[in-house]
Homo-oligomer: A and B are copies of this chain.
Amino acid sequence: MFISLDLQSESPIYLQLRNKIIEGIASKQLKPGDPLPSVRNLAKDLGVNMHTINKAYQLLKTDGFIQIHRQKGVVINPDGFPEVTADFVEKIKEELRPMLAEAICRGMTQEEVRRLCDNLYKEIAEGGAAE
């Protein structure tokens, strides 16, 4: 999978990387069991520091999206992915709230919001756009 980072973004590099991999899983470009590059190799490829890669990997490991075998390497979790927990729903709602509030202020209808989400959902699932 090809990964591009925006070094000018206000979003931290390690978070961008974490999100790109999540998107890779969502679009099935990355499947359970697939290997990921070593922290050093990916760091070299992307032109960033090893620890930045490691930070992203640690996040993904903690959340259960990848497994890290100490000497074998890193793989997309072969045992499946975390469920839709109450914590996750709470997190997504609190992140979504400010966006939705601004959308309402700007006059977006519920129908328009629904269409935007629907389209984005499909776009992600098909691995499209922003690449």
- Which residues of A are in contact with B by a Cβ distance under 8 Å? 19, 22-23, 25-26, 65, 81-84, 88-89, 92-108, 110, 112-114, 116-118, 120-122, 124-125, 130
Q: Which chain B residues border A114 with CB–CB below 8 Å? A: 114, 117-118
Copies of the protein in its oligomer: 2
CB distance from A28 to the nearest CB of B (A): 10
CB distance from A124 to the nearest CB of B (A): 5
Measured CB to CB, the nearest residue on chain B to A83 is: B106
Q: Which chain B residues border A65 with CB–CB below 8 Å? A: 105
Q: Which chain B residues border A84 with CB–CB below 8 Å? A: 103, 106-108, 112
**Please, how many angstroms separate the alpha-carbon atoms of A97 and B107 in the complex?**
21
Report yes or no: A110 in contact with B121, Cβ–Cβ below 8 A.
Answer: yes
Q: Which chain B residues border A102 with CB–CB below 8 Å? A: 22, 26, 88, 92
Instruction: From A82, A97, A101, A118, name the one whose CB has the most chain B CB atoms within 10 angstroms.
Output: A101
Report yes or no: B117 in contact with A121, Cβ–Cβ below 8 A.
Answer: no
CB distance from A35 to the nearest CB of B (A): 18
Given contacts A89-B116, A116-B89, contact A19 B108 (CB under 8 A): no
